[in-house]
Homo-oligomer: A and B are copies of this chain.
């Protein structure tokens, strides 16, 4: 019984890693579609979001089934509840990638972000992609050194996010309202993506360090 249970927990972990891989692919293509105004790639990301949602829902059903059949307690219970939280955050990360792709599609054939901000968004996108890669590895290996790296990347994203607003509200900004709206939303989506990655990393870290309540808590 115990062995079956451990195998089931491993299955949950593998599925979370798989979903994180789908998210990684989504943000990689979304940020590329965004900077290159590649509408075909954007369409792909948008279409593929349903796969992330389905994978997250399947994972949830499996986790709930484990709760019903195995009635885990203590740390094991925290692991399963944390899996539900992580799947929910991954699903939202997929949505953020989709939103970034939608912005690229909406403005096509125009570039979605005006010249002065392209470098900033390239950097934000690169950080989001790097965080996502690290998150997949963190979920696969539980190497919690990655959690600290993810937090560092997030600090960089937060700074870039603030710099977007400084730029848009500065005197040299020549964008029209549509540019301002796009920059605002794009920056927000990139930043929220990063927030969710940090939230997941913290939960994995809590579980590893024994702060089970922190692992399954609600706050980002």
Q: B-contacting residues of A (Cβ < 8 Å)?
A: 53, 56-57, 60-61, 64, 67-68, 71, 73-74, 77-78, 81, 84-85, 87-88, 91, 165, 168-169, 173, 175, 177-178, 180-181, 184-185, 188, 213, 216-219
In the complex, which of the residues B81, B87, B177 contacts A169, with contact meaning CB atoms closer than 8 Å?
B177
Contact B77 A64 (CB under 8 A): yes
CB of A114 to closest CB in B, whole Å? 12
Secondary structure of the A side of the interface? Answer: helix
How far is A169 from B177 in the complex, measured between Cα atoms in Å? 6
How many copies are assembled? 2
Instruction: Report, nearest first, the 4 A-B pairs whose CB atoms are least far apart.
Output: A71-B71, A180-B180, A184-B184, A68-B73
- Answer whether A84 and B87 are a contact pair too, CB < 8 Å, given A57-B218, A219-B53: no
Contact A218 B56 (CB under 8 A): yes
Contact A61 B169 (CB under 8 A): no
- Chain B neighbourhood of A71, CB < 8 A: 71
In the complex, which of the residues B61, B77, B177 contacts A175, with contact meaning CB atoms closer than 8 Å?
B177
CB of A115 to closest CB in B, whole Å? 16
Contact A74 B68 (CB under 8 A): yes
CB of A47 to closest CB in B, whole Å? 16
Contact A67 B64 (CB under 8 A): no
Given contact pairs A60-B217, A84-B218, A180-B180, a sample of 15 additional A-B residue pairs in the complex whose CB atoms are under 8 Å apart:
A53-B218, A53-B219, A57-B219, A60-B218, A67-B81, A68-B73, A88-B88, A88-B218, A91-B218, A91-B219, A168-B177, A169-B177, A173-B177, A180-B181, A184-B185
Output the nearest chain B residue to A213 by Cβ-Cβ distance.
B61
How far is A53 from B175 in the complex, measured between Cα atoms in Å? 38
- Chain B neighbourhood of A180, CB < 8 A: 177, 180-181, 184
- Chain B neighbourhood of A173, CB < 8 A: 177
- Chain B neighbourhood of A88, CB < 8 A: 85, 88, 218
How far is A60 from B81 in the complex, measured between Cα atoms in Å? 10
